[in-house]
Every structure is written in C-alpha cells, then in structure tokens.
A and B are shown apart, each in its own frame.
Chain A
Amino acid sequence: MSRFVPLAVLILALAACSKQEPSPATNAAAPKPSGQEAPPATVSVPAATDRNPGAELARPSAEPVSSAAVAATPPQPPAPAEPATPPVPAATLAAPDGEALFKKTCATCHQANGGGVPYLQPSIKGSAWISNPDPQLLLSLILRGSAILGEAAKAYDNDMPPIDAPTDAEIAAIATYVRGRFGAPPVTEPVTPAQVAIARARPGLPE
C-alpha cells in the first residue's frame, strides 16, 4: 500500500494547483480580501484620441493602500478532503518559473522589457495594476483580459484576451514575477495560488 501514498500526494498536490474553479461552497467560504480600498468599477478614461505610445493604461483610482491592508492575510485554500493524507510541505513542490511563463505568455505582446508596442499594446512598466500591493486587480486583469477596463481599453488597438488557461500556481508565478520586475516600487510579496483562485471565482474587478 505504501507505494501508493506518493501518488495520492501527487494527485492532491496537482489538485491544489488546479485551474478548476473552487466549488460554490468554497466560494462562499472564501472571504473577500479585506482592508483594501476598493477601486471603483469604472476607471479613468483617457481622451479617445490619446494614443500616446508612452502612455500607460488608465490607472485605477484606488486610494493608497493602508499598511493594514498590506498586512492582511489572504484567505487560505480549504483543507484537503482526506485528513488522513499528510500535508505536502510547500517547499517540496516545484514552483512554476514565473520568468519563463512571462516570456511565453505575456512578452509576446508586452515585449520582453515590458515596454509594450506603440498604439497596439501598453507598457506595463510601473503599471498601477501591477504596483498595487493587493494583487487582486492584477489577477482580475490577467484572468479577464482588457474587457474589464471598459472604455479605457480603447487607448490601445489590441484587446488583451483572458489569460485563464494557466493553472492557479502558474498565474501566481507570473503575477509574482511581474510585480517584482515591473512594479513601481517592486512588490516582493509573492502571489499565492489561493489568491488566484479567489480572483478566478469573482466575476469582475474586486468590489
């Protein structure tokens, strides 16, 4: 029997990283990120003709995030269904390579240096969406694409499609990487797969 245990552990580990949306019950149990100043659903809209190549995406007009918000502990994923299985130490799971995933998934449009392409795709250097200490805005943008920006998305020609095919762990790795590289100032707090699961389960921007 014992030789089956590693397999069971692997399955659970994969399940934890799965891109599957949490069940409705899990949704209900997952508290919303607390303590943050929620940005309004609408974001500032640049003039329709303003296609300045250097321009950033319209910034969400969020208030500065309080230190309490930064310290707020993100909700944890539900405990494994089988309590008999020993929990897997996080360190033993190979974390996805955020830089490699960025190059594969994001750099095509936003370019390897994050500088974007004039008129087509925005620069993400110092983006307010990336720099916000709370990752939920960024995760919503990644998972839902530029549709969540509404009119502001028209500042650039190309729409960003929803990037929802990668697993929660992969998206967490991408978000962690871009926050560390392009955040102004860089955000070093890692984004967790559980935070991605919350963003995935939510229909739009954080309330």
Chain B
Amino acid sequence: MKKTPALFAALVLGTLAHGALTPAANNDGLILPAGFHAVVVAEKGKPLRNIVVAANGDIYANTPKDGLVAFRDTDGDGKADEIKSFGEGGGTGIALHEGWLYASTTKEVFRYKLTPGELVPSGKPERIIKDLPNQGQHSAKVFAFGADGKLYVETGSPSNAYGGKKDRALGATGEDPTEFLKTYGGYWRYDANKPDQTRADADHFSTGHRHSTTIALNPATGKLFIAIHGRDQLNTVAPQFYTDDDNAENPSEVFHELTEGANFGWPFTYWDPNTSQRKINPEYGGDGKKLAEAGKYPDPLIAFPAHWAPMQLAFYTGTQFPAKYQHGAFLAFHGSWNRAPKPQKGYRVAFLPFDEKGLPTGKYETFADNFAGKPVLESTGDADHRPNGVAVGPDGSLYISDSQTGRLWRIIYTGN
C-alpha cells in the first residue's frame, strides 16, 4: 500500500506530461510499434552524435565539429524552446556522472560541472584525459563509466584489416599488428576524476577490435557491453573468394561483454553471420571458409547484419514503456555504406532484449525504422536521417538523435 501514492503520482504526472506532448503527424515518417509515438524535439540543421538526458529533462548532444548542444523544453510540449551551443571542437561520446557532464573529442575527454537551473554549464571544462591517439580513421572516442566508477574509453584502429599500404584495396596483405595494438583497437580504463591523464595513467583493458562506438553499463548487473564495427570490402580485397553478395552480408557487427583482457580477434578474424562461425580474414590467409582457432576469441553475444554500423547503446531504465522493454537496451544503427552495389540497409533503432541474468538473449528487433525515408536506398547520402544517439529521459521517453540533419525525436508510449 505504501507504494500507492507514488504510483498514483507517477501515473498522473505521466498522463499530464503526455497530455501536453504533441506527437508529429504520421510520427514524422518513423515506423514504430503500436502505441508508440514520435515527438520532434528539434531540428538542429547540423549533425548530432551521442546524446544524454539529465534528470530535469535537459538534453545534451555531442556534434562532429560544433562543440556540444543543449536543448530545453520550457513549456512541456516536447519541443525544445532553448537550444544553446557551448564548448569547442567536436566529438562523439557524452555521459552524465555524479553531477558532471562528460564529453569526448577525437583526442580528449572533458567534463563540465552541472549546476541546477543552468542549461549551459557556466564553469570552465576540466580536461580529464588528454593526448588520445587522434588517428583520422575511426577516431571517435566513446566512453562509459563502469560499476567501479572508472572511465572506460575506446580507441579505434585507423585501419580496415591492417592490410598495409593496400588496406581496403585488391590484394591487401596483413602485417603483424602486435605493436599497433598496443596503441589502437581497444578500451582503456582511467580514473574518472583525475585531470589531464594520459595513456601512462590508464590500464589497457581490452584489445583486438577494429572500432567500437558502442559501450554502456547494464545497470541491472553492473556489466559493460560493447558493439564493434566489422571490417569492410571483403569483395574488393579478395574478389576471388567473395562476391558482392558475400560482402553485403559479411561480416557481422558484433555485440560482446567488455571484460578485462578480452581480445576480440581483429585483424585476424571476422564473424560470418550466415554460418555463425569465426573465420580468418583474407589479409591473413583466409579464403571465405577457413575457420579461426576454436575458443581463441569470444563468440559474439549478438551478431547483427553486416555494415549496419552500431552507434549509441542505452539500457532502458524507465517504466513508461511496456514491461517487455524494461529488461533490455536500445541501439542506434547509423546505416550502411559498404553494401554497394547492393542497396544500403540498417538505418534504424533496435531493441535488444536481456534475460533475468542480465545477458542479451541473442536476438534483436527493429524498434524504430524508416529514418532513411526510402524503401530502397542506393547511396548513403540519400538517406533523410541516420540514427546516431539514443538516451532514456527521466520520464522513460526514448530520445533519438540524427547525424544527417540533426533532428532529435522523443519516443513516447501511450498505448493507443
């Protein structure tokens, strides 16, 4: 009985909030499950990357080159009435932690103290990490806070499959990546509060990946999960073994638990979703059939279709959505470019169900679709929108950001 007043209040507040929100006509073209609706929060006009929503509903986004953007809805209709840019440079990662707003550039992690009432932090940013390798290709630096309060920061591999000077070209031949992987292709663990840390202050936590722009903590278990972008251009590098169709469907984008010392098998191997096997990359002697040594690298917990480009991951922590969504996470897929000459795919937000033990079930379902706005997409640039960020708001709404025109949506559930 004690819970009743709180539950009643939540229901009333929820009802009031929804009553004031105005879903977009036809859900702004998005395809959503029954009972869900899309509210257009803002259209920035410039690409948005990862997003986070504060306890008061303020939304913060990182951008590729225009610093950070803050959005505030002052009258409760769902549309942002105040949109303010702050900070310099550009980047991808963003997160809230113990009253601070953390954001990454391609070579640093900064944080700003959040003060109640302030949309834009008035204090100067503190630099927590500096001198990250700024390598051009795969330079986004996503991060998350672990259950231990530490900061886990990614550094991608500036490479496709470490194929030397011919990387991405016909006949690319793999080189020994041992030294390379000491600097690239992994996650590093830092203190969350110490200023101006460098690699010398960090623990090399995991290795052997190409690029990961996906990391989040499952609050139910305290475990970190990541997704990894698979390699490109199997048919370009080794047309004797891979057709255009083979390349369009290979290799998987993979989902793993991030554990200390993990090696995810790049650049030697990739995951074939058609046979559910780990295979040797053609740069290292593979022929489309040759299997990797059994047990040497972890099998993925989820194998997504090739080239979909997994971006931000957000565990659903709200209660607004139906019960099935309350054990799982939402993952934004940026959409492919490397399926050509086959049509491009992937431009969507998926829901990943998790089981009672806090592990993914291995399945995923499309939650929000039609961001590209076309039934058949030939070229990436023709997509109307590309999902990049997802975050859960204090009332359980799901926010989605777009890297094409900078649109920001709020997905709500009304049941009708």
> Would you call B266 an interface residue if the criterion is a C-beta within 8 Å of the partner chain's C-beta atoms?
no
Bound together, the chains give a CA A85 to CA B301 distance in angstroms of 65
**Residues on the A chain within 8 Å of B89, using CB:** 49
> Would you call B82 an interface residue if the criterion is a C-beta within 8 Å of the partner chain's C-beta atoms?
no
Q: Which of A50, A105, A109, A117 contacts B65, CB < 8 Å?
A: A50
CB of A106, distance to nearest CB on chain B (Å)? 9
User: Of all chain B residues, which has the CB nearest A165?
Assistant: B170
Bound together, the chains give a CA A162 to CA B165 distance in angstroms of 9
Main secondary structure, interface of A, reads: loop
Q: Is the CB of B166 within 8 A of A161?
A: yes
Q: Is the CB of A118 within 8 A of B404?
A: yes
Bound together, the chains give a CA A111 to CA B244 distance in angstroms of 14
**Residues on the B chain within 8 Å of A51, using CB:** 64-65
Bound together, the chains give a CA A115 to CA B337 distance in angstroms of 11
Q: Is the CB of A108 within 8 A of B236?
A: yes
Interface string of B49-72 (1 = CB under 8 A from A): 000000000000000110000000
CB of A45, distance to nearest CB on chain B (Å)? 14
Q: Is the CB of B90 within 8 A of A113?
A: no
Q: Is the CB of A161 within 8 A of B381?
A: no
Q: Is the CB of B137 within 8 A of A113?
A: no
Q: Which residues of B, 144-191, contact A by the 8 Å Cβ criterion?
A: 165-172
Q: Is the CB of A119 within 8 A of B64?
A: yes
Bound together, the chains give a CA A53 to CA B337 distance in angstroms of 14
Bound together, the chains give a CA A117 to CA B89 distance in angstroms of 21
User: Of all chain A residues, which has the CB nearest B383?
Assistant: A118
Q: Is the CB of B382 within 8 A of A118?
A: no
> Would you call B31 an interface residue if the criterion is a C-beta within 8 Å of the partner chain's C-beta atoms?
no
Q: Which residues of A, 17-52, contact B by the 8 Å Cβ criterion?
A: 49-51
> Would you call B252 an interface residue if the criterion is a C-beta within 8 Å of the partner chain's C-beta atoms?
no
User: Of all chain B residues, which has the CB nearest A153?
Assistant: B136
**Residues on the A chain within 8 Å of B172, using CB:** 161
Q: Is the CB of B380 within 8 A of A107?
A: no
> Would you call B23 an interface residue if the criterion is a C-beta within 8 Å of the partner chain's C-beta atoms?
no
Interface centre among A53, A121, A154, by most chain B C-beta atoms within 10 angstroms, is A53
> Would you call B218 an interface residue if the criterion is a C-beta within 8 Å of the partner chain's C-beta atoms?
no
Q: Which of B139, B165, B170, B235 contacts A157, CB < 8 Å?
A: B139
Q: Which of B47, B171, B378 contacts A111, CB < 8 Å?
A: B378
Interface string of A45-65 (1 = CB under 8 A from B): 000011101000000000000
CB of A87, distance to nearest CB on chain B (Å)? 32
User: Of all chain B residues, which has the CB nearest A114?
Assistant: B379
Interface string of B316-348 (1 = CB under 8 A from A): 000000000000000000000110110000000
Q: Which of B167, B337, B341, B379 contacts A120, CB < 8 Å?
A: B337
Bound together, the chains give a CA A104 to CA B379 distance in angstroms of 14
**Residues on the B chain within 8 Å of A113, using CB:** 378-379, 381-382
Bound together, the chains give a CA A115 to CA B366 distance in angstroms of 27
> Would you call B138 an interface residue if the criterion is a C-beta within 8 Å of the partner chain's C-beta atoms?
yes
Known A-B contacts A157-B138, A157-B139; A163 and B169 likewise in contact (beta carbons under 8 Å): yes
**Residues on the B chain within 8 Å of A165, using CB:** 169-171
Q: Which of A49, A108, A117, A158 contacts B90, CB < 8 Å?
A: A49
- List 13 additional contacts besides A49-B65, A158-B137; criterion CB under 8 Å: A49-B89, A51-B64, A107-B341, A108-B236, A113-B382, A118-B47, A118-B380, A157-B137, A159-B167, A159-B168, A161-B167, A161-B172, A163-B169
- Closest A-B pairs by Cβ, 7 of them: A161-B169, A115-B381, A111-B379, A113-B379, A117-B337, A165-B170, A117-B380
Chain B interface (Cβ < 8 Å from any Cβ of A): 47, 64-65, 89-90, 136-139, 165-172, 232-233, 235-236, 244, 337-338, 340-341, 378-382, 403-404
25 A-B residue pairs with CB within 8 Å? A49-B89, A49-B90, A51-B65, A103-B340, A108-B233, A108-B236, A108-B341, A111-B379, A111-B380, A112-B378, A114-B379, A115-B380, A115-B381, A117-B337, A117-B380, A117-B381, A118-B381, A118-B404, A121-B337, A157-B138, A159-B168, A161-B167, A162-B165, A162-B169, A163-B169
Chain A interface (Cβ < 8 Å from any Cβ of B): 49-51, 53, 103-105, 107-109, 111-121, 123, 145, 154, 157-159, 161-163, 165
